[in-house]
Structure 1
Amino acid sequence: MLGIAILCKTLLKGGAEKQALILAKSLQEKNIDVCIVNWYQDKIDPENLRYIRQNEIRYFPLNGGLISKLFSLKRLLENENSGYIVSYLTFANIVAGISKLMSSNLKTIGGIRNEKLPYYKFVIERFVHNHVNDVTVFNNYSGKVKFKKRGFNADKIHVIQNAIELDNRQAKENENHGNSGESGNSGNEIKIVTVGRFVNQKDYPTALKSFRLLKDKCSTTKLKYIIIGYGPLESEIRSLASELEITGEVQIMINPPNIPEILRSSDIFLSTSLFEGVSNAIMEAMVAG
């Protein structure tokens, strides 16, 4: 049976990267020959590397220049007897398409995770989808409908929604927590939490201004807003919190290791994203109960 290579541009923290790792583990558990390929070898989050090692997933980071990496990937696919590439996001979809042109028997499955893309990415994705890759997987039906109307070959679109891991211990904790009738807050404090990258798509200004309005309207209620994430807009988020005079109630946490515990101890999950595919953060908040 031919193996499967899962290709990512990086393995830094992110929804696509998380889904790639969960897919690799799931396929491996079904005794399917699978490996993870990281285009930028030095760009991997320590938690993701730990996940790979704990689950004994075969991992191949690439190094060198563009041409060198393309031929290294070609040799890797041949050596691993990989007949399929599953790729995530625009750059990896392009690389998968080039790999298909270099190996005619290779089947390529691209991945699009948002219902909205910048125009230049949309044009590239449409060309790769229609003319190179065999299939593109969307994680939401909204994206499928919108992209189909804008020229994507509908016959090559498949929808597979995001996966999420839930271990038995966490399920038992959630069950006990629900049966106890206790809330996650300590005393009378209400904890609100947001998890997401610090980018424009997540619309943190709306979240912070909403929290400020809530604070004004509920002046007798003790409120706390926890923001978990990382990204280029961190300083802007901190500045806006200061401008709104809510720094005493807002806690910004950069990639803490205990996100599930923070979610379980909170009362409200807040998402102000302008657009999504299927949000990993919302799914994980639902799991936390």
Structure 2
Amino acid sequence: MKNICIFTNTLFSGGAEKQAVLLTKALNEKYNVWLAVYYGDETEQKFLDILKENNLKTIFLNGSHLKRCFSFYKFLKRESVDIIFSYLLTTNLIAGLIGKIAGVNYVVGGIRSSEFSKKKLPLQKILQNHINKFTIYNNNRGFKELALKGFRNERALIISNCFELTTEPIIRKKCEHITIISVGRFEKEKDYYTAIKAITFLKDKFKKFNYIIIGYGKFESQIHDWINKFKASDY
């Protein structure tokens, strides 16, 4: 049976953290899986409850960065971990370097954005091209745009975010009035500009529809400006 480690920065609310917990839960049915949290004191109760309810093994790292890295190394050696999955730059880097030292066969990094700062870009590129065995993208745009910047696509693939169906699918009656929603943080990477612009093209084909944006963040005022720019407030 394969020994697998899912490596996340924190267990605060966020896309990467949620995906880490869901993947741990899914793989735990067939494999020997641990969820390792680099900042072990940064957790939210809702995630801790899921881990407890499903009897998922968890490693919380604490102390200085050096102590965390050494503890992670000892854990990898002790449990003979075969595969590490990570999601963001911090854990990509630590998993890549410590994983190699510990003799982990496969380190799979993660990229969840299409843009990086000048400091982060070269690090992610080195990790994908030379250190990690593979990289998983959760978005097609990042996969394509980073390839133009020298990221080796043969060492990567796209896997969309997973989600759990907690209720039975709702079968609705066919109706003339359509409601479309977008849910997410109001950040540049979410590209609400394209979403709002696309809605303006629908008005010629679908007269009766509403578009609802749900979320929060620093781009809220900018989103209002785009709505006014494309005269989409009526939808």
Normalised-by-shorter TM-score class:
0.7 to 0.9
Q: C-alpha deviations, 1:222-261, integer Å up to 9, x for none?
A: x9977444x6x3xx85xx59x99xxxxxxxxxxxxxxxxx
Change (3 A) 1:77 1:117: same
Change (3 A) 1:104 1:194: same
Structure 2 counterpart SS, 1:158 = strand
Measured after TM superposition, the shift of residue 115 of structure 1 is 2.1
Change (3 A) 1:46 1:155: same
The whole-number CA distance in structure 2 between the counterparts of 1:80 and 1:41 is 19
Bigger relative contact order, structure 1 or 2 (CA pairs below 8 A, ≥6 apart): 1
Measured after TM superposition, the shift of residue 58 of structure 1 is 1.0
Provide the aligned length of Structure 1 versus Structure 2.
212
Structure 2 residue aligned with 1:101: 100
Counting only pairs closer than 5 Å after superposition, residues 2-13 of structure 1 correspond to structure 2 as 2-13=2-13
Structure 2 counterpart SS, 1:35 = strand
The whole-number CA distance in structure 1 between the counterparts of 2:38 and 2:160 is 24
Change (3 A) 1:226 1:132: closer
Measured after TM superposition, the shift of residue 170 of structure 1 is 3.7
Measured after TM superposition, the shift of residue 203 of structure 1 is 7.0
Change (3 A) 1:139 1:202: closer
* Structure 2: tracts of 5 or more residues without a match: 198-209, 226-234
Read off the aligned partner of 1:117 and give its amino acid letter.
Answer: F
**Is residue 195 of structure 2 the alignment partner of residue 195 of structure 1?**
no
Structure 2 counterpart SS, 1:196 = strand
Structure 2 counterpart SS, 1:130 = helix
CA contact (8 A) 1:100 1:132 kept: no
Q: C-alpha deviations, 1:168-200, integer Å up to 9, x for none?
A: x342xx22xx1386989xxxxxx9865323544
Measured after TM superposition, the shift of residue 140 of structure 1 is 2.8
The whole-number CA distance in structure 2 between the counterparts of 1:198 and 1:159 is 23
Identity of aligned residues (%): 31
Structure 2 counterpart SS, 1:40 = coil
Counting only pairs closer than 5 Å after superposition, residues 153-164 of structure 1 correspond to structure 2 as 153-164=152-163
Counting only pairs closer than 5 Å after superposition, residues 80-99 of structure 1 correspond to structure 2 as 80-99=79-98
Structure 1 counterpart SS, 2:5 = strand
CA contact (8 A) 1:6 1:85 kept: yes
CA contact (8 A) 2:40 2:62 kept: yes
Structure 2 counterpart SS, 1:117 = coil
Read off the aligned partner of 1:13 and give its amino acid letter.
Answer: S
Structure 1 residue aligned with 2:229: none
Structure 2 residue aligned with 1:20: 20
The whole-number CA distance in structure 2 between the counterparts of 1:89 and 1:141 is 17
Q: C-alpha deviations, 1:18-39, integer Å up to 9, x for none?
A: 111111111112x211111111
TM-score with structure 1 setting the length: 0.63
Change (3 A) 1:183 1:165: farther
Structure 2 counterpart SS, 1:82 = coil
Counting only pairs closer than 5 Å after superposition, residues 1-289 of structure 1 correspond to structure 2 as 1-29=1-29, 31-167=30-166, 169-171=167-169, 174-175=170-171, 178-179=172-173, 195-202=183-190, 227-229=214-216, 233=218, 237=220, 240=221
Measured after TM superposition, the shift of residue 120 of structure 1 is 2.0
The whole-number CA distance in structure 2 between the counterparts of 1:79 and 1:54 is 25
**Structure 1 vs Structure 2 CA RMSD:** 3.1
CA contact (8 A) 2:73 2:99 kept: no
CA contact (8 A) 2:8 2:17 kept: yes
Change (3 A) 1:146 1:199: closer
CA contact (8 A) 2:114 2:189 kept: no
Measured after TM superposition, the shift of residue 125 of structure 1 is 0.2
